[in-house]
Amino acid sequence: MTEEFNYLRRILLDFDHGVELLGEKTEPVDPGLVELLKSPSKRLSVQFPVKMDNGTLEIFRGYRVQHSKLYEPTKGGIRYSPDVDLSVITALAMDMTLKCRVVDLPFGGAKGGVICNPREMSPDELERMTRRYTFEISSMIGPDSDVPAPDIGTGPKEMGIIFDTYKMFNQKAPDAYAVVTGKPLSLGGCRARLEATAQGGAYVLEEAVKQGCARGLTSLKDATVIVQGFGNVGFHTANILHKDYGCKIIGISDSKGGIYNPKGFSPSDVLKYKTDEKNEKKSVIGYEARNTLAIDEFLTKECDILVPAAKETQIVGSIADDIKTKVILELANGPTTNLADKILFEKDVYLIPDILANTGGVTVSYCEWLQNKEGTQWETDIVNNILREKMTTAYRDLVFTVKSYDVTTREGAYILATSRAIQVIKDRGIFP
């Protein structure tokens, strides 16, 4: 795997570069401190059996990584995907540490996952696998130690199963509901959680336009948008930008390809088509008989705002020079490679990096965790007000950092995250 496509290597390079830039304005950072901030605190690899519906036994491999315990609990989603491996989960855990520092949440970073294809598993198989995986990582998770959440391939149902499994072994735990976030409302879930990542991204984008940072984009009204990925984050992003801000959604894609219409789509209509029982492929492909676009061609269509909301390593160096957009709002984790970053910066594309743009999910997860600790449930407007305040404050902090250091937005985000993490260590000291 080349360096450009190795997600963990890319994060470490960006982190090292951020430390270097930070040291140019302040005193050089102690190398031991740098290594402490880069190294995962704990990594667990598990193998476990699950009985499938046909009676056979299948062995699954799963992981849970706690990257940093600067704050506890650690926080991070659980991913079900064939692409899961220890390197990716470690990278995502480090990513969570950085996100929590950028948006100033009292969590450390963590991540988990199981190598599987949830689309090829029945609901009963997924439940059995989720319960056994929860049991296998039970030594790590807890309301005050490590709190999972949804990610690719998981959602409220799986989070409810995780809570129930944990509760079976911790009957007397007074705050068991706080062991996991992203749960159904009936189990202490948080209002506005499903659309939180998308809504947080929209708040940041709105603030960037208000401050005149978004390269010639003076209003979101009638701005053309292409959204890559049409899962939970992609759909809600397209829908919020379309309904609440008057954007024109001209491109939508999923794992099977993309569709494009310069006149715009109704995201809710596209979702109805994708989820219709008659649509065996469960894809946006075929909507309005639109021609299918390969991802490379889709990402390089002209638009005002490009939103990668699928998975990591999508905007690569080989296509970056052909990208024709004013703004990239990164709602996926690590969608843009380091090489592509350089090319896009030279093209004067304004990039809002993932470790700020997609922190809406963990921010509202923080709200859910607090509510579970308090034994209450807040109204939607309270949650969204907190989300808006957190996202816009973090964006203003980023802009200040970018101007102070004369760096790119991604460099600024890493400087901001790193400086805050270093300050926590200085304030806590090193044991013993």
Residues belonging to the active site: 111
Would you tell me the crossing angle of helices 232-243 and 267-275 to the nearest 10 degrees?
A: 150
Q: What is the CA radius of gyration of the chain?
A: 21
Long-range CB pairs of 287-296, under 8 A, 24+ apart, other chains included: 287/259, 288/259, 288/261, 290/259, 290/260, 290/261, 291/259, 291/260, 292/256, 292/257, 292/258, 292/259, 293/251, 293/253, 293/257, 293/258, 293/259, 293/260, 294/257, 294/258, 295/228, 295/253, 295/257, 295/258
Cα angle: 210, vertex 211, 216; to 5 degrees: 85
Amino acid letter, residue 167: K
CA atoms within 13 A on the CB side of 85: 5
Residue 252, token pair as written in the block: 């939508």
- Report whether 349 contacts 323 (CB < 8 A): yes
CB atoms under 10 Å from CB of 338, counted, come to 17
Residues near 389 by beta carbon (within 8 Å), at least 6 away in sequence: none
Are 343 and 317 in contact, with CB atoms under 8 Å apart? yes
